[in-house]
Amino acid sequence: MLGLTACGSAENDGNTSSTATTSKTETQQTETAKQTENREDKSTPADTAAAPETADEAKSSGKDTIVVYFSATGTTKKIAERIASVTNADLYEIIPAEPYSDADLNWNDKNSRTTIEMNDPNARPAIADDTISFDGYSTVYIGYPIWWGDAPRIMSTFVEAHDFSGLTVIPFCTSGGSGIGRSGSNLASQAGSGNWLDGDRLDGGISEDELKTWISKYN
């Protein structure tokens, strides 16, 4: 698996957004905090301060764009926050019902949770509290890390649970070096609705100018 040696390196781009609009229960916030503790980059605490209580509250923001992401070790989270900041979008984190521990994320262990999940195309890890509704949005950025060349199976859980009809969907990923490959088109097939664009791999250390240039491709 090319590029894995670069995986997990801490990236400090420092430009975070305060637009968190995730619907999180107290339990989820605890889970998120636990996950954050597991991350190699411990400098970024979970940003849950501005979380509204319900998905309806999130929709009342009036924004037409939302950035949905899953992140196990914080790299995709930082990029998602920056995209939300630049695009004035809402932000929604996909939180696993069972957080991924360091042992779960060990790709060198053929019996680790992620290895087992990624070896099974039908694995659908549960999401903690999937309350998001896309009503009122026209554009969805959807981000995830690359695991074994594909999107984590929890992304399949998410896209199969939602209707993307009428939405422009822009996938983005972070990785140790692998490109986005077929991960976006695989998710598009699983979603079965929505206008899914090709999307891209974004480097965790992408500059603000590069990020804005990437975003401007879609505006």
Q: Which long-range contacts (CB under 8 A, 24 or more apart) does 27-35 make?
A: 27/128, 28/95, 28/128, 28/129, 31/95, 31/96, 31/99, 31/128, 32/93, 32/95, 34/99, 35/72, 35/95, 35/99, 35/100
The nearest distance, CB 15 to ligand FMN, in angstroms, is 16
Measured from the CB of residue 188, what is the shortest distance to ligand FMN in angstroms?
Answer: 20
- Given 55, 66, 67, 72, the residue binding ligand FMN (CB under 6 A): 72
Verify binding: residue 36, ligand FMN, rule CB under 6 A: no
Whole-angstrom CA distances from 87 to 70, 117, 147, 156, 170 are: 18, 33, 27, 25, 13
Site for ligand FMN in 188-207 (CB under 6 A): 204
Q: Which of 17, 44, 65, 71 binds ligand FMN (CB under 6 A)?
A: 71
If one asks whether residue 75 binds ligand FMN (CB under 6 A), the answer comes out as yes
In the list 1, 116, 197, 215, the residue contacting ligand FMN (rule: CB under 6 A) is 1
Distance in angstroms (rounded) separating the CA atoms of residues 28 and 96: 9
Establish if 178 lies at the interface with ligand FMN (CB under 6 A): yes
The yes or no reply on residue 176 touching ligand FMN (CB under 6 A) is yes
Cβ closer to ligand FMN: 1 or 123? Answer: 1
Question: 113: part of which helix (H) or strand (E)?
Answer: helix 113-119
Token pair recorded at residue 54: 């319900």
What spatial distance separates the first Cα and last Cα of the chain, rounded to whole Å? Answer: 34
Per-residue string for binding with ligand FMN, 120-149, x by CB under 6 A?
-------------------------xxxxx
CB of 65 to ligand FMN, least distance (A): 20
- Considering only residues 87-126, where is the footprint of ligand FMN by CB under 6 A? 105, 107, 114
Q: Which of 176, 171, 200 lies closest to 186 in space, CA to CA?
A: 171
- Taking the least distance from each CB to ligand FMN, the nearer of 125 and 204 is 204
Distances (CA, A) of 217 to 60, 94, 125, 197: 27, 25, 33, 11
Query: Cα–chain-centroid distance for residue 125?
Result: 14
Site residues (CB under 6 A) for ligand FMN?
A: 1, 3-4, 7-8, 71-77, 105, 107, 114, 145-149, 174-178, 204
